[in-house]
Amino acid sequence: MTAIKRRRGMALLAGGLAAGMLLAACGGSDDSASDSAGEETAAEDTAAEDSGGEEDAGGEEDAGGDMAAGCEAYADYMGNEGTTVNVFTSILPPEQQLFEEAWAGFEECTGIDIVYEASDQFEAQLPTRIAGGNAPDIAWIPQPGLLERLVADGGPVAAPAATEALVDEYWNPAWKGYGTVDGTFYAAPLGSNMKSFVWYSPQVFADNGYEVPTTWDELWALSDQMVADGIDPWCGGLESGGATGWPATDWLEQVMLRLYGGDVYDQWVSHELTFQSPEVEAAMDVVAGWMKNPEYVNGGFGDVQTIALTPFQDAGAGIPTGECGMLQQASFYANFWQNFDENATVGPDGTAYAFYLPEISSEFPQPVVGGGEFVAAFADRPEVQAVQTYMASPDFHTSKAALGNWVSANSGVPLDTYAADSIDQLSAEFLTDPNGIFRFDASDLMPAAVGAGEMWTQMTAWFAEDKPTAEVLADIDAAWPAS
């Protein structure tokens, strides 16, 4: 359930305060006006996409002519004036304002009005809306598993060639695979988050003379050192409303990818490797020795059971105070530190910072588990394709990344776009590194009955009720859909 995690992170961003209200106030009239505009021009023949879109859609070449100054970059998307494209997402305000800021120039130059709609019930609402005949033009889908299911029911339309070309050029091939179903490419990646981080307090580390561990063994040596110093080395929280349990699935994924590498991970995702196989069992034992180790957890909250009860947003509360040494959480957790202290900063000298969760063996170098959302279209009108292509371009990704608190795995975004030493920059480094093993969050890839159901439930029971590992794994296997 990447959406919920990321959504909560982003929504905690400060800033953009008044804009939300303004939007709220204008929303109603906007809708009706743009709708009727869309109707008038929908029939117009707009061939811009067909003629120019195939080449470099993010292109810098000058289209010249009657184009307004500053609009050269959007030459490929022209010819759709007065049209409307609506986008449905799980990313709530205030992040919404940053997206609108990022594509303001595009809207102005092309005359395409992008209408943004967000819901925290996105995963339930989108299929309902599609089945109800009320599909959005574009949806940002956070789970490849959901995309696959929607394609099976005949919702999304294939991405235009221009979009595909951009993805081929700028992304790690694994990413393209996640937007592809049965050999057809549907959806380009949008934002990403890097999940293989461990959060810590630089201050606490400095005071105790701890070094950031760079190998798996150093990590456990440090943990034991902390125990000796009377600090609980680890903390965690699984509570997340309807998605309770997801952080535990992340822990298992980290260990799986580190122990066995990408190929075995892929087999696990496709259930060629069952949960009851010795590999998964061994990985569960590693997690048990880590997050279910009564010596190690749960810093700031109590015993192992409290991991199940603690909201994941609160899990890091003990880091700045030194009650908890380390927290394994994704890059978006950067936004949460101000929850605990209004003046919190994130950085090598700040309240909190993150290091890469080290690899286990050199056989599988620099494994990275990540998440992100994918831009799927449900209509093939030229203006929809123009927006879809634009949303894959380095141009758009750079202008969005420059606004902060957002990471793209698009290698066309220069690393110095991100603030120096920010978590965003650190994430982007790992996500775009061609030498690392990148894999998507496995629970987002598995069928919903497992990835958004039984796996959450069983991992929660594993912590809350100390349910035996063998039973947990057997029950998850039993929930895997028969077909």
Partner 1 sequence: MSVEAHEMPRLPDVDPLEDKPESIPQAARRKLSSPWASFIVVVITFLWTIPTLGLLITSLRPAADAQNSGWWTFFANPAVTFSNYAEVITGGDTIPSGITPYFFNSFAIAIPAAIFPLTLACMAAYALAWVRFKWSTAVFFGIFALQVVPLQMALLPLLQMFNLGWSLGPIPIFPDLNRPGSEQSLLAGTYIPLWIAHTMFALPLAIFLIHNFIAQLPRDLMEAARVDGASHFLIFRKIVLPLSVPAIASFAIFQFLWVWNDLLVALTFAGGTPDVAPVTAYLANVKGTYGAQLHLITAGAFIAIVVPLIVFFALQRYFVRGLLAGSVKG
Partner 2 sequence: MEELLTGLEKLWSGFLGIVIFGVLIAVLFFIGSRFRGRLSRPAAILIFLGPAALLLVMGLIVPAIRTIFASTQDASGNEFVGWANYQWIFDSQFDIIVNSILWIVITPIAATALGLTLALLLDRMRREAVAKSFIFMPMAISFVGASIIWSLIYEYRAPDKPQVGLLSQIVMWLGVDDPPKWLLWQPFNNYLLMVIMVWIQVGFAMVVLSAAIKAIPSDVVEAAELDGATGWKLFSRVTIPMIRGTLIVVVTTIMFAVLKIFDIVRVMTNGNYGTQIVANEMYAQAFVQFDVGRGSALAVVLFVAVIPLIVFNVVQLRKDRATR
Q: Which residues bind partner 1 (CB under 8 A)?
A: 4, 7-8, 11-12, 14-21, 23-25, 27-28, 31-32, 35, 38-39, 42-43, 86, 92-94, 97, 117-121, 124-125, 128-129, 131-137, 241, 311, 313-314, 339, 378-379
Among 90, 358, 99, residue whose Cα is nearest residue 217: 358
Helix residue spans in 233-317 (DSSP H): 246-269, 278-291, 306-309
In the complex, least distance from residue 56 CB atom to partner 1, rounded to whole angstroms: 30
In the complex, least distance from residue 20 CB atom to partner 1, rounded to whole angstroms: 3
- Tell which positions 203-242 bind partner 2, by CB under 8 A: 241-242
15 binding partner 2? (CB under 8 A): no
Token pair of 208 as six digits: 């105790």
In DSSP notation, 49-115 reads HHHHTTS-TT------TTPPTT-GGGGGG-S-TT-EEEEEES--TTHHHHHHHHTHHHHHHH--EEE
Q: Which H or E run contains 3?
A: helix 2-11
- Tell which positions 410-449 bind partner 2, by CB under 8 A: 448-449
In the complex, least distance from residue 177 CB atom to partner 2, rounded to whole angstroms: 22
In the complex, least distance from residue 8 CB atom to partner 1, rounded to whole angstroms: 6
Do residues 234 and 223 touch, judged by C-beta distance below 8 A? yes
Binding span for partner 2 by CB under 8 A among 282-290, 414-422, 423-431, 451-459: 451-459
CA 1 to mean position of chain CA atoms? 9
Smaller CB distance to partner 2: residue 131 or 206?
131
In the complex, least distance from residue 471 CB atom to partner 2, rounded to whole angstroms: 13
Q: Which one of residues 21, 33, 47, 221 is an interface residue with partner 2 (CB under 8 A)?
A: 21
Size of the site for partner 2 (CB under 8 A): 35
How far is 199 from 204, CA to CA, in rounded Å? 12
Interaction partner, residue 11 (partner 1, partner 2, none; CB < 5-8 Å by kind): partner 1
How far is 196 from 234, CA to CA, in rounded Å? 15
Token pair of 378 as six digits: 């449900």
Q: Give the x-and-dash track for 108-137 against partner 2 (CB under 8 A).
A: ---------------xx--xx---------
Phi and psi of 65, rounded to 5°?
A: 70, -140
DSSP, res 352: B
Do residues 449 and 480 touch, judged by C-beta distance below 8 A? yes
Report the interface residues with partner 2, using CB under 8 A: 21-22, 24-25, 28, 123-124, 127-128, 149, 152-153, 241-242, 244-245, 300-302, 305-306, 308-309, 448-449, 452-453, 457, 460-461, 464-465, 478, 481, 483
